[in-house]
């Protein structure tokens, strides 16, 4: 008796931004292994008797190892259950989805990946920031703040990209901004940090790159937040302050 696993992207925070296919998988699940920041409304969409397991990482508590999560997915599927691995954002963007998919493939377990709306795109949009815009930006780099802390990112190349988006970078904001400045990015480059993007708790701070860490701390903000650096960030206050219908387009 063999079940199936769905690796589902839950989206950036707003439960309404999950895909139709992802919601369908949740509504028929026997078991749901979910990340810590997944919206409660999505878990409520599961059948009442579905088993829900929080495998997310959180400060001050033991993290469930990736190998352990993969073992749970394989065991439940082999027991004939419909299993949903519900992950924040998109499973294949800094979400260990590739590792879990590989483990399922090697175990011979039937699975399907359901892409999600990544916070790298949705959160800037919620703050009025288009990542590309004619005349302002035609290239985008997506990086993780966790790797930035290791100092092994190609900062000289990143500094030359029009728009840089940093996920999981709030705790390392000083480091990220300092490295971009050292690599030659203009200190006056528009930058923003958006906390709890797409949710009713969203707050954002706009400031020149050299001032962003102080502005973020001064506003009393912290993780989780998405960091955006580039000329397109200058459009944020204009777009956020106008109805979309009145915004005529990018310069």
Instruction: Determine whether 49 is an active site residue.
Output: no
List 30, 35, 76, 90, catalytic entry = 35
Residue 224: asked if its preceding bond is cis (omega within 30°), the reply is yes
Furthest CA-CA distance within the chain:
61
DSSP 50-66: -EEEE----TTSPPPPH
CA atoms within 13 A on the CB side of 154: 6
User: Which run of H or of E encompasses 239?
Assistant: helix 236-240
Query: Which residue intervals of 149-222 are DSSP H helices?
Result: 155-158, 173-182, 212-218
| Tokens (6 digits) for 190 | 């528009």
Instruction: Determine whether 4 is an active site residue.
Output: no
List 4, 14, 54, 57, catalytic entry = 57
Would you please indicate which residues are annotated as catalytic (active-site) residues?
A: 35, 57
């Amino acid at each position: 008796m063999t079940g199936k696993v769905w690796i589902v992207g839950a989206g950036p925070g707003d439960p309404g931004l999950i895909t139709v296919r992802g919601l369908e998988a949740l509504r028929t699940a026997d078991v749901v292994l979910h990340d810590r920041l997944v919206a409660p409304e999505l878990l409520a969409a599961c059948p009442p008797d579905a088993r829900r397991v929080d495998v997310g990482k959180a400060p001050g508590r033991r993290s469930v190892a990736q190998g352990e999560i993969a073992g749970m997915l394989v065991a439940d599927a082999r027991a004939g259950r419909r299993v949903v691995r519900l992950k924040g954002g998109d499973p294949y963007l800094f979400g260990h989805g590739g590792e879990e998919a590989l483990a399922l493939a090697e175990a011979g377990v039937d699975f399907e990946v359901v892409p999600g709306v990544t916070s790298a795109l949705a959160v800037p949009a919620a703050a009025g920031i288009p990542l590309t815009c004619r005349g302002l930006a035609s290239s985008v780099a997506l990086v993780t703040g966790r790797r930035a802390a290791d100092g092994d990112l190609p900062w000289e190349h990143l500094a030359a990209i029009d728009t840089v988006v940093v996920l999981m970078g709030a705790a390392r904001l000083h480091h990220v901004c300092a490295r971009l400045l050292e690599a030659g990015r203009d200190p006056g480059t528009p930058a923003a940090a958006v906390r709890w993007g797409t949710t009713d708790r969203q707050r954002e701070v706009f400031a020149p790159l050299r001032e962003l860490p102080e502005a973020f701390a001064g506003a009393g903000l912290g993780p989780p937040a998405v960091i955006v650096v580039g000329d397109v960030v200058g459009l944020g206050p204009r777009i956020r302050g106008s109805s979309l219908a009145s915004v005529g387009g990018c310069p």
